[in-house]
Amino acid sequence: HPLATFFHLFFRVSAIVTYVCCDWFSRGFVGCFVIVLLLLSFDFWSVKNVTGRLMVGLRWWNQIDEDGKSHWIFEARKVSPSHMAATEAEARIFWLGLIICPVIWIVFFFSTLFSLKLKWLALVIAGISLQAANLYGYILCKMGGEGDISTVAASFLSQTVFQTASPGDIQKPRLEGLDIHQH
């Protein structure tokens, strides 16, 4: 899915580059703010609804019932061993983009705070929020929606960072076979 891979990175990188270069090309705060916020929003939507499903076979959403209770719903496509090799690179790109970009926005938060450019703080917080929401949702989705976030995060980090990825860890989307978990 080269097009999905392109857009997975395009909106994320475009938002970061636009944020960094706003002062160089334009002195208009509102225009830059709106452009970066639109890029972040496009990124959130495309990652949550399109690229996660195509690149790693995962999708998540949050649903509120009539009682006002929040329910996380996770969807994962079943994988056949013969289709895993083609998505290994896509899965690595997906997870690296999903992890690195929120870290960059956190760095922007501290640089904005310490340089006292407080008017940009709302935009940086929006960037952190949108990026972290996707990261949180996909980490829970990858782990099947089980356990609390500290257990899930520790397990996720041990699988993706400290171990080399085995072909069994990579998921390839297919049209048939859907596992849906509610948490």
**Model confidence pLDDT, tens digit, residues 71-108:** 888 877 776 555 554 577 888 888 899 999 999 999 99
* Alpha carbon distance 6, 4 (integer Å): 5
Nearest to 143 by CA among 85, 72, 44: 72
Predicted local distance difference test score (pLDDT) of residue 153: 52
* Alpha carbon distance 30, 100 (integer Å): 27
Predicted local distance difference test score (pLDDT) of residue 154: 55
Beta partners for 76?
A: 58, 179
Q: Are strands 58-64 and 178-182 parallel, antiparallel or unpaired?
A: unpaired
Under the banding of pLDDT at 50, 70 and 90, the label for residue 45 is very high
Residues in the chain, overall count: 183
Cβ proximity of 175 and 66 under 8 Å: no
pTM over 0.85: no
Flag whether pLDDT at 137 surpasses 80.
yes
Strands laid side by side in the 58-64 sheet: 58-64, 70-77, 178-182
Nearest to 179 by CA among 135, 133, 145: 145
* Alpha carbon distance 54, 7 (integer Å): 12
